[in-house]
Amino acid sequence: MPASVLLLVGTRADAIKMAPVIREVSRHKDLKPIVVATSQHREMLDQVLTAFNLKVDMDLNIMRPGQTLTGVTIRAMEGLEKIIEENEIDITVVQGDTSTSFVGGLISFYHKIPVAHIEAGLRTYDLMRPFPEEANRRLLDAISTLLFPPTETAKKQLLAENLPATAIAITGNTAIDSLMWVTGIDRPISDSKLQKIADDKDRKLIVVTAHRRESFGEPFQRLLRAMARISESHPEADLVYPVHLNPNVDAPVRAALSNTPGVHLVPPLDYFDFAKLMQACDFLLTDSGGIQ
């Protein structure tokens, strides 16, 4: 009987980085992948699942309007508990530091199921930055059976925390596998206006993403004022900003930049279009760990 591998995705970044792993697990006859989505980022997650042609076996669809971190955690715990109780899981694979990954690891640990953590060992040593991800990944590493850091530095940080060397294997970052795959596809950006901006060699292209929870409020306003100044001082540049759907991001961005010349506010792009836009840009301004 093949070993059952529970693979969890919650956000768009989870899906991007987990896609190569899901594909590889699916190739092995002695492994049975069970892909579960909590759908922390519903619309943006769906974009990635479609782009990589990933089949989700179970979708918890946990998000509700105005839901708190506590609400996300409770709903994810209840949903994953039910799945683990109803299926014989041999190992759980989680990616990164989202609430989905932490909860998946914790519930599996409670059921004495081994946990494999992809992108282990990343640290800022400031529990508030990023919040709550720094706490999520520290706790997750402590309860994981297998640790897959992307770099030698991340491995050293795990060893410094007295985690066993025999449990650690450097793998590189699976986001690179996804990026190499998608940028190898010869296809234009689906929005012809964006493709035209990307193709214009007479102008500079600046791509912007910003959505970090810890930046909400005045730090985010400072960023928006800086973007307005960049646009004013560099009329030869186009700033393309795919705006996150979170109302804490969308509302202030549109209030501050909707009528700013040279700034193009667009809906979240699918992974293919964003990767092509990154390829074409001259400068990238982001608070995304995955993009960096």
pLDDT by position in tens, the chain (length 292): 899 999 999 888 888 999 999 999 999 999 999 999 987 666 667 778 888 888 899 999 888 877 889 999 999 999 999 999 999 999 999 999 999 999 999 999 999 999 999 999 999 999 998 899 999 999 999 999 999 999 999 999 999 999 999 999 999 999 999 988 888 888 888 889 989 988 888 899 999 887 766 667 787 788 889 888 998 898 998 999 888 877 778 888 888 888 888 899 998 888 888 888 988 889 998 877 667 6
Nearest to 86 by CA among 49, 41, 19, 36: 36
Query: 206 with 249, same domain?
Result: yes
Query: 116 with 20, same domain?
Result: yes
Picking from 133, 165, 182, the residue at the C-terminal end of a domain is: 182
Number of domains in the chain: 2
How distant, in Å, are the alpha carbons of 14, 58, 101, 112, 271 from that of 143? Answer: 19, 24, 12, 10, 31
The residues annotated as belonging to the active site are 97, 119, 133, 211, 213, 244
Which domain, by its residues, includes 75?
3-182
Q: 62-82 burial, b if ≥16 CB within 10 A, otherwise e? A: bbeeeeeeeebbebbbebbee
Query: 35 with 89, same domain?
Result: yes
Is 210 inside a domain boundary?
Answer: yes
pLDDT of residue 3: 97
Query: 82 with 173, same domain?
Result: yes
Report whether 101 contacts 15 (CB < 8 A).
Answer: no
Query: 170 with 225, same domain?
Result: no
pLDDT of residue 161: 97
CATH code where residue 26 lies:
3.40.50.2000
Angle between helices 192-199 and 271-280 (to 10 degrees): 20
Picking from 117, 151, 182, the residue at the C-terminal end of a domain is: 182
Helix, strand or coil, per DSSP, at residue 147: strand
pLDDT of residue 160: 98
| pTM to 2 decimal places | 0.81
Picking from 182, 201, 229, the residue at the C-terminal end of a domain is: 182
Query: 16 with 59, same domain?
Result: yes
